[in-house]
Amino acid sequence: MRFLLIFHFLLLVIFSASAEPVLDYRLNPVQVAEDTYVFIGKKEDFSFENGGNIVNTGFIVTTEGVVVIDTGPSYQYGLQMRRAINKVTSQPIIKVLLTHHHPDHILGNQAFSDVPIYALPGTVNLIKRDASAFLDNVFRMVGDWMQGTELFDEIIPLLDERELIGGHDLTYISMDGHTGGDLIILDETTGVLFAGDLVFHNRALTTPHAEPDKWKASLRRLNEMEYKIIVPGHGEIAEDKLPIMQTLEYLIWLEDKISESVEMGLDMNEVLESQIPERFQSLSILQHEFARSVIHRYPVYEEKLFNKQ
């Protein structure tokens, strides 16, 4: 009998050692207003260490059910998001809103396949165009965190401009600039503004699909809006206009620097060696994102210069 107990103990140890580790995003919902919660991501780029948890997602608990804003970077994130929501409320999830089509905001869709998922019509088209490539790319960057993640692009075009859901008066505003479709969600009831990736706070912005003139116009529109709390796509929650102005000022400098450098005949490597002003030095992963933006935007200005000649 003693031998059998030892044998079973050894089997348990071997099995435990060989079992795959649980990949836990440690999602902690932070209440930012009445009925309103945000999962705050790290101010980093995708990596195996963070599993892609670099994004702010959120949810609003209404008397009719829960409205989710963005689904995160993976199926596992979406599942863990749902479990975290269930610890806050017993209300069912009744609607998902996607702010735009980038992978850290949509690859958790699969975990919400039983719920209507909405996005701007332009975003729906961009998801169908780009999401498959996004999926492959994120798999390469974060590895095992993406296990089980599959593309879910059955998204309903959001046509409403305003909707009353369970005591929350939600205004949906169509903008663009960061991508071809950027949804802004303003809860008129609580004053919380979900700005998506039109706004970054204390984290350098990204430009893979940027149209900077439109982005600047959208930021100026946002700056004129009244709200109590702003939830940026990346970075800290705020109660003022600082995240908007910080994003706008850096975007203006970035575009001016690249366009002027091209006009001066500098090559891309010379632009990459540019000194970034001191006022932006506190932004997370600044050098990394500056380099990416130069790679994204230099060819655009180079082509414009060529076409003028």
Chain segment 90-104, per-residue pLDDT in tens: 999 999 999 999 999
Are residues 47 and 142 in contact, defined by beta-carbon separation less than 8 angstroms? Answer: yes
Chain segment 245-280, per-residue pLDDT in tens: 999 999 999 999 999 999 999 999 999 999 999 999
Mean pLDDT, the chain cut into blocks of 10 residues (309 residues total): 42 39 89 98 97 98 98 98 98 98 98 98 97 95 96 95 98 98 98 98 98 98 98 98 98 97 94 97 98 95 76
Q: What is the pLDDT of residue 309?
A: 60
**CATH number for the segment(s) 19-241:** 3.60.15.10
